[in-house]
């Protein structure tokens, strides 16, 4: 074990005695299924023991008693764990693993060994992979490297093979062709080196943000931010940056990263699974808000305020004079206009007094008021006649026409007439207007029901009792 690893492990969060107790709990020389289970657990625990700098001799003494002889299983697993250490961790440190409770640490260690470990078919056939020890090939990206035989294993020589062929060869009796295809893709997706770029260049970051809409409100393809430049430019170092997949002209995914700490903030835009697995392969880990606290972003002043995007990993920042520091502070990072403050509204609603942009503005010419969309929807209606908005109190009761009409439109309009009985306005294209002998206007069907048509006068007469005799 190297000195750096030993000193890292020394700070481990769980007790040496806990690791030893877990190992002692296991029946290391069990047979059959229990043996497989034991081997699997042993591998993880042996790795944890190594991480914890548990001295091998003391471990043996604790498990097998003073002067006791370690079992064969113990010996095999310990040496395998020692060899697998780099495969499991790659260039990562034990920091994240040590911060976890022992069971979570165990799971993580075991899961890191390879992406097939989560599948039941793989777990049920533990002995097969224990012999082959497949791991990502270092020479052929996306391939599996495994020990072809015991001799090569002793000499630590692995042979690369395509993951699909590996599965066909060693698990072909268990898996269907569809499963082989699917799991081969799973391996390749995890270990191939996709086209990931990590940039801290402001121009490149802006290009990626504007090139393609990946579901973010910070897209701004045609500009339109409030400040002096695209707000995502603040991610151009010194701490943060952007990782993206594909070209900057047409990115498939992007995510915020802290390159020096090998962290990505767990909010992806676009093809999350490919970018995530690529970053994990590169040694990156997901970080939450707390891990991004203290990150420095660029400080761009604009008219007494700051150019900032909507920041996923922090709500506030403070100005240290040179950079903005994420975490606490009074600079708000939750706005979508490209600044830390709400911009001055262009207009004010005459009804509710709220600010509004030109887009949200509705001029009501009949009463000379400027109102916001919200007020407009609540208190005004669109008159099909004047093709303008009118206050709701100006809504005329109408029959015919097409939609709503205002009093100011239907009154004194020769296309409309008012029925004295119903007080409704009727459109002449769909209704017939009749004028009575008395000089009032009605809709024809009302007249038919209530009045009398005088053949002599050739007119409808309202006072039917009186006039029936007169006319006849």
Per rule CB under 5 A, is residue 352 in the interface with Zn ion? yes
Beta bridge partners of residue 361, listed in sequence order: 372
Per rule CB under 5 A, is residue 43 in the interface with Zn ion? no
Nearest CB to Zn ion, comparing residues 351 and 443: 351
Nearest CB to Zn ion, comparing residues 376 and 454: 376
Smallest gap from residue 354 Cβ to Zn ion (A): 5
Rounded Cα–Cα distance for residues 446 and 459 (Å): 14
Per the CB < 8 A criterion, the answer to whether 330 and 308 are in contact is no
Smallest gap from residue 379 Cβ to Zn ion (A): 9
Which of the ranges 149-157, 301-309, 366-374, 409-417 carries the binding residues for Zn ion, by CB under 5 A? 366-374
Q: Torsion over CA of 461, 467, 469 and 472, rounded to 10 degrees? A: -40
Smallest gap from residue 358 Cβ to Zn ion (A): 14
Nearest to 466 by CA among 454, 420, 455, 458: 454
Question: Residue 160 is encoded by which pair of tokens?
Answer: 């690369």
Per rule CB under 5 A, is residue 48 in the interface with Zn ion? no
Nearest CB to Zn ion, comparing residues 329 and 355: 355
Nearest CB to Zn ion, comparing residues 89 and 356: 356
Binding mask 105-144 for Zn ion (x = CB under 5 A): ----------------------------------------
Binding mask 239-278 for Zn ion (x = CB under 5 A): ----------------------------------------
Q: How many CB atoms lie within 10 A of CB 203?
A: 12
Quick one: 334 exposed, middle or buried, by C-beta within 10 A (0-12, 13-18, 19+)? exposed
Which of the ranges 52-60, 139-147, 196-204, 351-359 carries the binding residues for Zn ion, by CB under 5 A? 351-359
Nearest CB to Zn ion, comparing residues 248 and 362: 362
Number of residues that bind Zn ion (CB under 5 A): 5
Instruction: Write out the binding residues for Zn ion, residues 321-350 only, by CB under 5 A.
Output: 349
Per the rule left: phi > 0, alpha: psi between -120 and 50, beta: everything else, 90 is left
Smallest gap from residue 349 Cβ to Zn ion (A): 3
Rounded Cα–Cα distance for residues 355 and 465 (Å): 64
Which of the ranges 23-31, 236-244, 266-274, 369-377 carries the binding residues for Zn ion, by CB under 5 A? 369-377
Nearest to 329 by CA among 339, 318, 319, 320: 318
Per-residue CA distances from 131 to 67, 77, 162, 266 (Å): 30, 11, 18, 36
Per rule CB under 5 A, is residue 364 in the interface with Zn ion? no
Smallest gap from residue 374 Cβ to Zn ion (A): 5
Per the CB < 8 A criterion, the answer to whether 77 and 50 are in contact is no
Per rule CB under 5 A, is residue 351 in the interface with Zn ion? yes
Smallest gap from residue 335 Cβ to Zn ion (A): 21
Smallest gap from residue 256 Cβ to Zn ion (A): 37
Instruction: Write out the binding residues for Zn ion, residues 372-411 only, by CB under 5 A.
Output: 372, 375
Which of the ranges 211-219, 261-269, 364-372, 419-427 carries the binding residues for Zn ion, by CB under 5 A? 364-372
How distant is the alpha carbon of residue 47 from its chain centre?
34
What are the φ/ψ torsions at residue 362 (nearest 5 degrees)? -130, 115
Task: Find the helix packing angle between 32-51 and 102-113, rounded to 10°.
Answer: 110
Question: Residue 376 is encoded by which pair of tokens?
Answer: 């407009």
Smallest gap from residue 395 Cβ to Zn ion (A): 19
Nearest CB to Zn ion, comparing residues 349 and 383: 349
Smallest gap from residue 380 Cβ to Zn ion (A): 10
Nearest CB to Zn ion, comparing residues 347 and 453: 347
Nearest CB to Zn ion, comparing residues 193 and 378: 378
Per the rule left: phi > 0, alpha: psi between -120 and 50, beta: everything else, 391 is beta
Task: Find the helix packing angle between 32-51 and 3-10, rounded to 10°.
Answer: 100
Quick one: 81 exposed, middle or buried, by C-beta within 10 A (0-12, 13-18, 19+)? buried
Smallest gap from residue 376 Cβ to Zn ion (A): 8
Residues lying near Zn ion in the complex (CB under 5 A) are found at: 349, 351-352, 372, 375
């Amino acid at each position: 074990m190297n000195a750096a690893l030993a000193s890292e492990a020394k700070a481990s969060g769980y007790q040496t005695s806990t690791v030893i107790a877990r190992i002692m709990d296991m029946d290391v020389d069990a047979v059959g299924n229990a043996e497989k289970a034991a081997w699997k657990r042993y591998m993880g625990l042996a790795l944890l023991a190594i991480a914890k700098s548990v001295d091998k001799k003391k471990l043996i003494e604790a498990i097998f008693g003073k002067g006791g002889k370690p079992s064969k299983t113990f010996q095999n697993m310990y040496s395998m764990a020692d060899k697998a250490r780099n495969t499991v961790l790659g260039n990562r440190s034990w920091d994240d693993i040590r911060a976890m409770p022992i069971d979570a640490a165990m799971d993580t260690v075991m899961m890191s060994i390879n992406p097939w470990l989560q599948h039941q078919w793989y777990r049920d056939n533990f002995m097969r992979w224990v012999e082959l020890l497949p791991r990502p090939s270092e020479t052929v990206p996306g391939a599996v490297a495994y020990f072809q035989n015991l001799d090569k294993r002793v000499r630590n020589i692995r042979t690369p093979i395509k993951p699909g062929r590996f599965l066909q060869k060693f698990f072909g009796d268990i898996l269907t062709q569809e499963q082989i295809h699917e799991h081969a893709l799973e391996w390749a997706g995890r270990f191939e080196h996709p086209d990931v770029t990590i940039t801290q260049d402001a121009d490149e970051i802006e290009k990626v943000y504007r090139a393609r809409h990946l579901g973010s409100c910070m897209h701004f393809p045609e500009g339109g931010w409030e400040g002096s430049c695209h707000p995502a430019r603040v991610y151009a170092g010194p701490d943060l940056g952007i990782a993206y997949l594909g070209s900057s002209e047409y990115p498939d995914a992007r995510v915020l990263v802290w390159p020096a700490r090998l962290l990505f903030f767990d909010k992806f835009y676009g093809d999350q699974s490919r970018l995530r697995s690529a970053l994990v392969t590169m040694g990156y880990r997901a970080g939450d808000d707390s891990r991004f606290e203290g990150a420095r972003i660029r400080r761009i002043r604009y008219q007494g305020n700051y150019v900032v995007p909507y920041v996923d990993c922090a709500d506030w920042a403070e100005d240290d004079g040179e950079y903005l520091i994420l975490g606490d502070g009074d600079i708000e990072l939750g706005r979508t206009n490209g600044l830390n403050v709400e911009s001055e509204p262009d207009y004010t609603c005459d009804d509710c007094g709220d600010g509004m942009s030109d887009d949200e503005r509705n001029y009501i010419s009949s009463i000379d008021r400027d109102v916001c969309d919200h007020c407009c929807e609540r208190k005004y209606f669109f008159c099909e006649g004047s093709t303008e908005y009118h206050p709701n109190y100006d809504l005329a009761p109408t029959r015919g026409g097409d939609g709503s009409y205002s009093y100011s439109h239907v009154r004194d309009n020769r296309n409309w007439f008012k029925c004295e009985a119903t007080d409704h306005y009727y459109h002449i294209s769909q209704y017939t207007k009749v004028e009575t002998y008395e000089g009032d206007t009605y809709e024809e069907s009302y007249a038919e029901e209530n009045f009398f048509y005088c053949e002599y006068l050739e007119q409808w007469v309202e006072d039917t009792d009186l006039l029936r005799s007169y006319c006849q």
